[in-house]
Structure 1
Amino acid sequence: MMDKIIYSPVGVIHTKFHDKKDAPIQGVFAKDARGEIEIFKQYADGLEDIEGFSHLILIYHFHRSDGHSLISTPFLDDESHGIFSIRHFNRPNPVGLSIVKLENVNENILEISEVDILDGTP
């Protein structure tokens, strides 16, 4: 069994959401929520042909997670559930996943909408 998995960010997400309470619950509920993904220059070549896609699947680090709980109450529910059966940022491994709409590509900057991610997220 592995003790650790180590990864490094390839970019940072910029949005208008600076606090968890301000971010949409899911991007699908916030069609007009816009942001940018800044891919670090050393990874920019990996963006070749990305403009052919309408949506992107983002995997990111919940850098502002408060730790984890195995039982939690999701945002649209009054009852507690196991953390693996809900969408929540306080997970044992703070890894998030969102699907966003790709609006435009400008060199290493990806303009996106339908975003539900906090500003500065790696």
Structure 2
Amino acid sequence: MSQQPARPTADAVVPMSPIGYVVTEYARPQQAPPQATLAYEDQGHVVLFEPYAPGLDGLAPGWYVWLLTWLHDQTEEETTPLRVVPRGWEKSGRTTGVYATRTPNRHNRIGLSLVRIRDVKENVLYFDGVDLVDGTPVLDIKPYSTTSDTPPEDD
């Protein structure tokens, strides 16, 4: 009989370290737009730490990429609720599960922003579409793919 792979527990630690950080004009999360795709007029950039700079090779202006970030500027109180009142539902007070929303207030503070590359120079990726605060740690950058990131048309 084959042995089952080890499965994580709720208290497992997943090691991660940033590859760089975001530079924007926003100092607090409440000042930033709710989604990058709603703010392509805003510009920012990612500064990669030197060892990770070669990873930018092949990216080009006009491409879209996903920035996976650590939403470092959240309080513990903002990250703990598993039921929230989604944006636009404030008057009703109706709640839903946090995983059914795009709220940045989550147990794991992982952010996902779809941005458009404006330019790439050395260890800096300049982009349009800002929904992050200045200094946000970047965990990864992944290219947007219309074949992988868009559901099939028959869905």
Query: How many residues in Structure 1 have an aligned counterpart in Structure 2?
Result: 122
Match of 1:37 among 39, 46, 69: 46
Q: One-letter code of the match for 1:87?
A: R
Residue 29 of structure 1 deviates from its aligned partner by: 1.6
Q: One-letter code of the match for 1:119?
A: D
Residue 61 of structure 1 deviates from its aligned partner by: 0.5
Q: One-letter code of the match for 1:36?
A: H
Match in the other structure for 1:71:
83
Q: Name the SS for the 2:60 alignment partner.
A: helix
Residue 46 of structure 1 deviates from its aligned partner by: 1.1
Match in the other structure for 1:101:
116
Match in the other structure for 2:15:
6
TM-score w.r.t. the length of structure 1 is 0.93
Q: One-letter code of the match for 1:101?
A: R
Bigger Rg, which one: 2
**Structure 2: segments with no counterpart, 5+ residues:** 1-6, 138-155
Residue 77 of structure 1 deviates from its aligned partner by: 2.5
Residue 53 of structure 1 deviates from its aligned partner by: 5.9
Match of 1:62 among 71, 74, 92: 71
Asked whether 1:25 is paired with 2:25, we answer no
Residue 75 of structure 1 deviates from its aligned partner by: 2.3
Judge conservation of contact 1:25–1:75 (CA < 8 Å) in 2.
no
Q: 1: distance between equivalents of 2:61 and 2:127?
A: 14
Q: One-letter code of the match for 1:48?
A: D
**Runs of 4 or more consecutive aligned structure 1 residues displaced over 4 Å after TM superposition:** none
Q: 1: distance between equivalents of 2:64 and 2:131?
A: 14
Judge conservation of contact 1:58–1:97 (CA < 8 Å) in 2.
yes
Asked whether 1:92 is paired with 2:107, we answer yes
Match in the other structure for 1:47:
56
